[in-house]
Amino acid sequence: MSEQQTGSVVAVSRDDKHRFSKPVVPSIRLVAGYGIEGDSHAGSTTQHRYLIRTDPTRANLTQVHLVRSELFEELAADGFEVSAGQLGENITTAGLDLLALPVGTRLHLGADAVVEVTGLRDPCSMIDKFQRGLKGVLKSRDDTGHILRRAGIMGVVVADGTVAPGDPLLVELPAGDHIPLGVV
């Protein structure tokens, strides 16, 4: 692996139904090319309800959703109460700035699982149904008008494995020029 950045897994979540929040579970099983066993967003083609309507054959670039736990403290300062799994993420992390990672970064989780980062999650209106006004905090503009998205990152599973709270998270940056994350 190139540059060694590390973090850890704080919580893991999955849900077999399309609901906004996902319950925290003791562990999750990641399956290469598929996603998280027992999760409604698993599959080789898109499982996102909106994207299925527009192109059901589209490759599933959103098999795994990761959010950094530090975001919850930032949101608390803005008056929101959010905890692991409530933003619909599968893996809640600590100690790593997920949003700064480039496309193609490989996240080694636990002993065997590997997720390749595909892009940013674009907050949708469901977030405001969870907590009114939260979307505006998770998707805002900086002083130059650039859109800032803080609702986590998405990825695809490239190596099977089981992931649980307390597992290490090792970062493998892609070779060559790094491409900043865009929305997937």
178 domain residue, yes or no? no
Residue 108 placed within a domain: yes
Please state the pTM of the whole predicted model.
0.94
- Does some domain include residue 184? no
Q: Specify the CATH number for the domain of residue 135.
A: 2.40.33.20
Closest CA to 170 of 111, 90, 92: 111
Per-residue model confidence (pLDDT) at position 49: 74
Task: Give domain status of residue 182, yes or no.
Answer: no
Neighbours of 57 (CB within 10 A): 7
In a domain? residue 180: no
**pLDDT tens for residues 119-141?**
999 988 889 999 999 999 999 99
pLDDT digits (tens, 9 = 90+) for 62-101: 999 999 999 999 999 999 999 999 999 999 999 999 999 9
